[in-house]
Structure formats: structure tokens, C-alpha cells
Amino acid sequence: MHIEINDNTSLREIKEVFSNFYPYLKIEFYKYPHKKYEASDESDRINPDTTLGDIKRTHYSGVLEIQPLYKVADVEREFQERFGLSVQVFRKNNDEWEQTTGMDILSLKDINEIGRNSSDETIISEYEEGFDNIGENPDKLL
């Protein structure tokens, strides 16, 4: 996956490209960087409609390549070092988004798969609950 980054790019555009490639992951942008294995503070999250030109100190344009085997920590560091952007990777856990603070050494492919598996488990359990609720009238669909 390649993300083109310049002053006119909005954070939302970067987020969408990333999530289209990794559907069980997302990135959020923050005012301050975090250390490896640390969470980012929600109060420091930047509005996704902000353009990079509005928040970057250095105005460097380029293309960021992100491969599935890249580790979470490496992706977050690349955003910071090349573009001065503080990002946090999130993964889907059932129906909620969680920061990947304890998973910084795992690859994007691995945590995307973890997110997919947790979502699949939710779908399966909800499907099975539907069968439990049929009760004494199995011919009636819910």
C-alpha cells in the first residue's frame, strides 16, 4: 500500500486509504507522539478533517509505503520521522476499537487477522444466539 502525503492531504484521506487496505485496523492522529507500548491520550486526538499543511512543521511531500509485514511500531515511527505525524494504530476487537499498545512488535497483517477473528467470533455468537431464541417454534424465522 502507498499513501501520498502532501500539505493538501487531509488526515481523513490517509485514514481511509489505510483502513481500505487493513479493514480491521485504523489509524488516528494525535498532537503528541507516544513511546513504544504506550497509549495516546484521547484528548490529544486531531480532527480528521485537518489537512497536513495545517499541522506539520516541516512541509515535506512524499509517498509512504506500508507493507503487511511491517511492525506496528515501525509504521508509527515512519509517520513520525518522515512526516512529523504522531499516529496510533487501532485494531477492531469485537465491535470496539482498541489501541494496539501491547502489540507494537506484531505485523499489521497479524493484528489485522486478530481483528478479523474477533469480529468473526461476534458474528458467529450472534448467529448462534438466534438459534437459541427460536425456542419451541423452530419453523418461525427470527
Q: Which contiguous run of DSSP H or E holds residue 136?
A: none
Distance between CA 13 and CA 21 in Å, rounded? Answer: 13
Instruction: List C-alpha distances in Å: 11 to 43, 102, 113.
Output: 17, 24, 24
- Residue 121 vs residue 35, higher pLDDT: 35
Q: Decide: helix, strand or coil at residue 29.
A: strand
Q: pLDDT tens-digit profile of 63-107?
A: 999 999 999 999 999 999 988 899 999 999 988 999 998 899 999
Residue 134's pLDDT band, with cuts at 50, 70 and 90, is low
**What is the CB neighbour count within 10 angstroms for residue 14?**
22
